[in-house]
């Protein structure tokens, strides 16, 4: 029964992660991507990657909060899918947008902070995606966990990348900053929930709440 | 950075404008009820009824028709299509989503419309749109438009030099700047709830405003401007980033001091007062060296002053463009 639960959640995750790609292809085929379609594809793939990465980062805190263990098993597929969209995002940017013109790319990526932090996040996600298989997990042992904790840094870099691409300033909260601020707050919350003392308190609060509910049910029946 | 040679005189695009665009233009003028014959017919009440009443709706409702000959600018660059120009717009008063502006702006009320011109002038005056169309002969100007977001278009505007309007109000000697304000109409502009220092405000130095390339536009492709392009009247300053070319103007002030403009108020280190197109001075977060012309896949190198260097470089000979960006 439990096994079935996990694979069911896995299938939903894979299908859910594939749908935005199918929608993107559909929109491309039907000319729904504005007259500046390259930029539209860049923005779309980037936004999907961001969402999948945030969901992946959310699985452990959701488990802490609810005690529902199966969500733990989808953080890996969510992370790998986030990497797939991030890689697509980078390929469209470098190959289609910049025509693989190395001098232009060098300027865009290494001399401009916003592309640089996005690129750094992709560089971090690449080894994580490549070592996400069970075989690697066994082979790397303790180092695997430490390596995969780099995803927290990737999450922060992606938020900075997103905040820097919009027009406006975060500091004065003026301009187009609502979504980057919202996503930044979510990622900050998810990271705070991983801090051991915070996590302990949440777990304690949850178990005591569940205990009370149980007790009340028992009394009622 | 090579700058293409231009004719020193601003190009008379009448040489290159296809004839039927002119025909459209005449229809446009007629639609506004301002050709002399239409005025005469209306005044006499002789046989003027049908033509003068049916034309305005006809023009407004007319489906966009691509001309047989595509207008080109003085560099030989073909204009973008009417479809492209009217469906990919930055107009944050409506929405920040460029492809949705056209729909959200389609019922924006532009009649009646007046422009109040005041400040340091000898003869302050409020112009009605009909007056403006009667007073200033319209010209075709095919200009490149370079957005600060690194995309560009070529647009066949219909308009008249800003200097012509300014001369009417007789600027005083101490007027050194010109400020422009977009209509402040939150009831009809659904994007104005967002966190911006509304209303949109822009400015030019007096000599920039008096430059022959600076125009007030009332149409494109020989038709009246649609709301998403800044109807009924907007500024076009082709050597500056697009955000300087303020839309739907209701107020023009002549000022002694440099006004605080919309984007420079939000992020002064990123959007300067001058905002001249300059491939060598980057936006702090992204490069301005290249751009994508809408309709093309490969990027192009951005031209100094958007290709108008020869005409405007004299305005900035005493200015360090890395400081006054």
Contact A99 B292 (CB under 8 A): no
Distance of CA A159 to the CA centre of its chain: 10
B99-131 tens-digit pLDDT: 999 999 999 999 999 999 999 999 999 999 999
| Range with lowest mean pLDDT among A43-57, B50-64, B87-101, B203-217 | B50-64
- Name the residue among A36, A112, A164 with its Cβ closest to that of B88: A36
What value does the mean pLDDT take over residues A153-181?
Answer: 87
Write down the pLDDT at residue A220.
80
pLDDT at B18: 47
Q: CB distance A112–B282 less than 8 Å?
A: yes
Average pLDDT rounded to a whole number, residues A131-157: 93
Question: Using CA atoms, how far apart are residues A204 and A212, in angstroms rounded to an integer?
Answer: 12
- pLDDT-derived band at A174 (thresholds 50, 70, 90) equals confident
Distance CA B260, CA B256 (A): 12
The stretch B161-187 carries a mean pLDDT of 98
Residue B193 near chain A (CB below 8 Å): no
Judging contacts by C-beta atoms under 8 Å, the chain A residues touching residue B299 are: 97-99, 101, 104
Q: Which of B27-41, B55-69, B125-139, B255-269 is predicted with the least confidence, judged by mean pLDDT?
A: B27-41
Q: What is the pLDDT of residues A58-71, one digit of tens each?
A: 999 999 999 888 88
Q: How far is B325 from B321, CA to CA, in rounded Å?
A: 5
The closest CB to that of B196, out of A35, A114, A175, belongs to A175
pLDDT score recorded for residue B151? 96
Task: Determine, for residues A36 and B292 on separate chains, whether the beta-carbon distance falls below 8 Å.
Answer: yes
Task: Give pLDDT, residue A116.
Answer: 94
Interface residue ranges in chain A relative to chain B, Cβ cutoff 8 Å = 34-36, 38-39, 96-99, 101, 104, 107-108, 111-115, 164-165, 167-169, 172-178
Q: What is the pLDDT of residue B184?
A: 97
Q: Across B21-30, B189-198, B206-215, B264-273, which has the greatest mean pLDDT? A: B206-215
Residues in chain A: 221
A chain contacts of residue B292, beta-carbon cutoff 8 Å: 36, 38-39, 97
Is the predicted pLDDT of residue B17 greater than 60, yes or no?
no
Whether B248 and B231 have beta carbons less than 8 Å apart is answered as yes
B100–chain A Cβ distance below 8 A for any pair? no
- Higher-confidence position of B66 and B3: B66
Nearest CB among A34, A113, A169 relative to B98 is that of A34
Residue B300: closest CA among B323, B279, B275: B279
* Nearest residue in chain B measured CA to CA from A105: B287
Top-ranked range on mean pLDDT: pick from A109-123, B2-16, B119-133? B119-133
Taking an 8 Å cut-off on Cβ atoms, the answer to whether B266 and A38 are in contact is no
Distances from the Cα of B76 to the Cα of A98, B13, B159, B242, B262, angstroms: 24, 11, 20, 21, 33
**Contact residues, chain A, for B241 at CB < 8 Å:** none
- Contact criterion met (CB < 8 Å) for B285 and A165: yes
Residues in B touching A35 (Cβ below 8 Å): 80, 83-84, 87-88, 294-295
The verdict on a CB contact (< 8 Å) between B289 and A175 is no
pLDDT tens, position by position, B36-49? 433 333 333 333 33
Of A104, A174, A176, the CB nearest to B197: A174
Residues on chain A touching B151 (C-beta within 8 angstroms) = 36, 39
- Given a cut of 90, whether residue B178 has pLDDT beyond it is yes
Cross-chain Cβ contact B299/A104 below 8 Å: yes
Dig out the tokens for B226 from the structure: 């649609």
Contact A108 B98 (CB under 8 A): no
Mapped onto helix, strand or coil, the DSSP state of residue B40 is helix
Cα four-point dihedral sign B208, B239, B154, B229: negative
Q: Please tell me the distance from the alpha carbon of residue B254 to that of residue B205, in angstroms, as a whole number.
A: 10
Q: What confidence score (pLDDT) does residue B31 get?
A: 53
Question: Encoding tokens for residue B142?
Answer: 């095919």
Q: For residue B93, which of B193, B25, B19, B22 has the smallest C-alpha distance?
A: B193
How near does any CA of chain B get to the CA of A46, in Å?
16
Mean of all residue pLDDT scores within chain A: 92
| Residue of chain B whose alpha carbon sits nearest to that of A36 | B294
Closest CA to B184 of B160, B202, B208, B200: B200
HSE value, Cβ hemisphere, 13 Å, CA-based, for B294: 26
- Contact yes or no for B285 and A99 at CB 8 A: no
Residue A1 banded pLDDT, cuts 50, 70, 90: very low
- B95: helix, strand or coil: strand
Which sign does the torsion angle of CA B12, B18, B23, B27 carry? negative
| Total residues belonging to chain B | 325
CA–CA distance, B281 with B196 (Å, rounded to integer): 25
Which residue in B194, B265, B283, B300 has the most chain A C-beta atoms within 10 A of its own C-beta, making it the best mutation to test that interface? B194
Comparison of pLDDT for B268 and A184, the residue scoring more = A184
Residue B65 has what pLDDT?
Answer: 57
pLDDT of residue A22: 98
Collect all residues with Cβ–Cβ distance below 8 Å to A141 and sequence separation of at least 6: none
Asked if residues A168 and B267 have their Cβ atoms less than 8 Å apart, the reply is yes
Per-residue pLDDT, A65: 92
Give the B window 296-325 contacts with A, CB below 8 Å: 297-299
Pair of tokens at residue A98 = 């910049």
- Residues of B within 8 A of A107 (CB-CB) are 287, 289
pLDDT, tens only, A182-220: 999 999 999 999 999 999 999 999 999 989 988 988 888
DSSP chain A: -HHHHHHHHHHHHHHHHHHHHHHHHHHHHTT-S-S-HHHHHHHHHHHHHHHHHHHHHHHHHHHHHH--GGGGGGHHHHHHHHHHHHHHHHHIIIIIISTT-HHHHHHHHHSSHHHHHHHHHHHHHHHHHHT-SHHHHHHHTHHHHHHHTHHHHHHHHHHHHHHHHSSEETTTTEES-HHHHHHHHHHHHHHHTTSHHHHHHHHHHHHHHHHHHHHHHHHH-
Above pLDDT 90, what percent of chain A?
73
Choose the weakest-confidence range: A173-182, B4-13, B221-230, B271-280.
B4-13
Structure tokens at A213: 């509910």
Q: What is the pLDDT of residue A6?
A: 67
What was the ipTM of the complex prediction?
Answer: 0.83
**What is the per-residue pLDDT for B13?**
47
- Is the preceding peptide bond at B273 cis, omega within 30 degrees of 0? no
Tokens representing B152 are 């560009």
B124-156 pLDDT, tens digit per residue, is: 999 999 999 999 999 999 999 999 999 999 999
Q: Is the pLDDT of residue B304 over 60?
A: yes
């Amino acid at each position: 029964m439990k096994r079935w639960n996990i694979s069911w959640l896995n299938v939903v995750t894979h299908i859910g992660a594939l749908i935005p790609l199918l929608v993107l292809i559909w929109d491309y085929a039907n000319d729904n991507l504005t007259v500046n379609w390259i930029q539209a594809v860049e923005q779309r793939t980037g936004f999907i990657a961001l969402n999948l990465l945030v969901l992946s980062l959310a699985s452990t805190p959701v488990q802490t909060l609810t005690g529902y263990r199966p969500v733990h098993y989808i953080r890996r597929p969510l992370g790998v899918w986030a990497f797939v969209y991030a890689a697509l995002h980078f390929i469209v940017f470098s190959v289609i947008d910049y025509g693989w013109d190395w001098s232009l790319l060098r300027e865009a990526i290494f001399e401009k902070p916003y592309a640089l932090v996005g690129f750094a996040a992709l560089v971090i996600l690449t080894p994580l995606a490549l070592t996400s298989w069970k075989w690697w997990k066994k082979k790397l042992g303790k180092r695997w966990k430490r390596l995969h904790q780099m995803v927290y840094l990737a999450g922060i870099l992606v938020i900075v990348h997103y905040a820097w691409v919009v027009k406006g300033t975060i500091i004065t909260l003026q301009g187009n900053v609502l979504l980057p601020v919202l996503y930044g707050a979510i990622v900050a919350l998810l990271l705070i929930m991983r801090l051991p003392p915070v996590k302990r308190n949440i777990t304690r609060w949850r178990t005591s709440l569940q205990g009370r509910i149980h007790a009340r049910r028992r009394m009622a029946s | 950075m090579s700058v293409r040679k231009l004719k020193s005189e601003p190009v008379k695009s009448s040489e290159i404008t296809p004839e039927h665009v002119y025909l459209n233009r005449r229809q446009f003028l007629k639609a506004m009820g301002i050709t002399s014959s239409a005025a005469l017919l209306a005044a006499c009440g002789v046989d003027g009824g049908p033509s003068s009443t049916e034309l305005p709706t006809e023009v407004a409702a007319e489906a966009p028709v691509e001309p047989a000959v595509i207008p080109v600018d003085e560099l030989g660059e073909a204009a973008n299509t009417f479809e492209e120009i009217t469906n990919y717009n930055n107009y944050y008063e409506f929405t920040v989503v460029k492809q949705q502006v056209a729909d959200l702006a389609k019922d924006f009320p532009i009649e009646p419309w007046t422009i109040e011109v005041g400040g340091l002038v000898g003869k302050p005056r409020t112009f009605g749109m009909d007056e403006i169309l009667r007073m200033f002969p319209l010209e075709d100007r095919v200009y490149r438009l370079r957005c600060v977001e690194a995309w560009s278009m070529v647009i066949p505007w219909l308009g008249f030099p800003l200097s012509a309007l300014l001369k009417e109000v007789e600027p005083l000697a101490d007027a050194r700047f010109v400020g422009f304000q977009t209509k402040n109409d939150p009831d009809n502009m659904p994007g104005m709830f967002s966190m911006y220092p509304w209303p949109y405000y822009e400015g030019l130095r007096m000599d920039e405003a008096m430059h022959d390339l600076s125009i007030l536009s009332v149409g494109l492709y020989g038709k009246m401007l649609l709301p998403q392009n800044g109807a009924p009247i907007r500024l076009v300053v082709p050597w500056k980033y697009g955000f300087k070319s303020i839309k739907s103007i209701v107020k023009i002030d002549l000022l002694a001091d440099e006004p605080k403009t919309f984007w420079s108020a939000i992020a002064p280190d990123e959007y300067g007062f001058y905002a001249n197109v300059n491939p060598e001075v980057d936006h702090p977060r992204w490069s301005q060296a290249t751009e994508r012309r809408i309709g093309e896949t490969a990027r192009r190198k951005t031209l100094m002053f958007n290709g108008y260097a020869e005409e405007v470089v004299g305005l900035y000979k005493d200015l360090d463009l890395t400081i006054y960006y």
